[in-house]
Structure 1
Amino acid sequence: MELNTLLYEKDSGIGVITLNRPKTLNALNDELIKELSILIDNISEDDEVQAVIISGGDKVFAAGGDIAFMLNAGPLMAEEFIEAIRKTVDKIDHLDKPVIAAVNGLALGGGCELALACDIRIAAEGATFGQPEINLGIIPGAGGTQRLTRTVGPGWAKHMVMTGMLIDTDTAFKIGLITKIVPKDQLMNEAKKIAKVLATKSPIAMKEAKRCINYGMNVDLPSGLTHEMKSWVFLFSTEDQKEGMKAFLEKRKPMFKGI
């Protein structure tokens, strides 16, 4: 697959996606979204990949949607554009492999929404987050009013969405938008370190864990608990469960196969 707006590399079970539109600060346009959608589909089918990192490179994660592209869009074109973004972001959220967002610089608008779809978010010192769409006379359209609320709560979500104000890494960490702050030159090393840990876990248990957490955010507590219990029971039909417990008792590292 030829990529014009992304870079992709795979090593030791880890897939690294880098947004690559530096002249526009990695603004999300239709080409980037299409390539990202296809790439996520490919990663989903690639059994060699056990964890994914999404980065924007050394200077910026993504500064939002491509405003020049959107300026003259009518409602139908706008709907087509935002639906493509939402579907691609949803693919990341629903990918049955863990995804880490490694955020450097700006993660604004669609860039923040892209990070929100990832399972784990870490940021370099000096990174900035925000949903400034209100300043353009619009609102977030790819998860900013929904995933952000589920991540940081309605108070901070309203603060960010309704004021359009940006927040720094310290604030993002305090409200739970990110889970770790690292020096700029250590961002990718830290992301890969976490990815390597994730890649050693049982793929089938990892998939069920992610599904349970995502499912539980959208249903009542009893339904979420029932789903969790059924998933727990299902895992006792897998070879990974037997291997994991046997390895624990034998005091060795498990060799998971994802079956």
Structure 2
Amino acid sequence: MSNYFVGDVQGCYAELARLLDRVQFDPSRDRLWSCGDLVARGPDSLKVLRLFRQLGDAARVVLGNHDLHLMAVAAGLKRAKPKDRQQPLLDAPDLAELIHWLRQQPLLRHLPEHQLLLSHAGLPPHWGLNTALKRAEAVSKTLKRDDYLDFIGTMYGEKPDADEPTLSKRDQQIYTVNALTRMRFLYPDGRLDFACKSGPGDATELRPWFEYPKHKLLKKNTLVFGHWAALEGHSSHPNAIALDTGCCWGGSLTFWRLEDRQRIEQPALELSYS
């Protein structure tokens, strides 16, 4: 059995299929773990979602910001962006089933036997394991509720950007979504920055979340994440495994095999899907 972790697929189905063929992926034996953002920008978000759903227990997913945004678009709370190329997905007869399947996926996965965590953007440096699991589970429970759209409609915006003890339960959940699906840089006081999307060398007072002093979970755990294409698959911390290599921007799609920590890359089949 092999465990393959894949970066942001974002609708790049052809590249994903090539990687699965190259590693001779066998769903009866192997497991595919996604860092989230299955949809958007690439040409085949519908095929990607259907594939992961059809793989059943052989595929494990965490939600990314584009996956959450799809829920809002599908419900008419937000307008579809032409650059996301999601109209075939929005017109699909099984859209409701696919959205329901997405809603069952968590924001965080923990593999205790490997001391490994998987999230889309990373984890706040001040959280310990129990806090991280508890906060992520609270959002998952909300997304599984019949009235989940009440939350989806309020999760947008750049506040709260700090995990203050006075936050309401709803604001705690919004902060959790912001941290686990949108985080890149932090201010010196730990607040989230949402504006800078460049590489670490271009920031001034900001620092990447994985470089924040005394990151609790990175001391003893491997943390696999995506979301940040400007990193080009590299982080400065040996326990922070960056897998978003910008396939939809003309980069590549990357598998990371847990057993030997080997990377397998498939270059984008178009210069840019965006």
Q: State the TM bucket, normalised to the shorter chain.
A: 0.3 to 0.5
Name the larger-Rg structure: 1
Using structure 1 for the length normalisation, give the TM-score. 0.33
Q: Which has the higher helix share?
A: 1
Higher relative CO (Cα under 8 Å, sequence separation at least 6) belongs to 2
Using structure 2 for the length normalisation, give the TM-score. 0.32
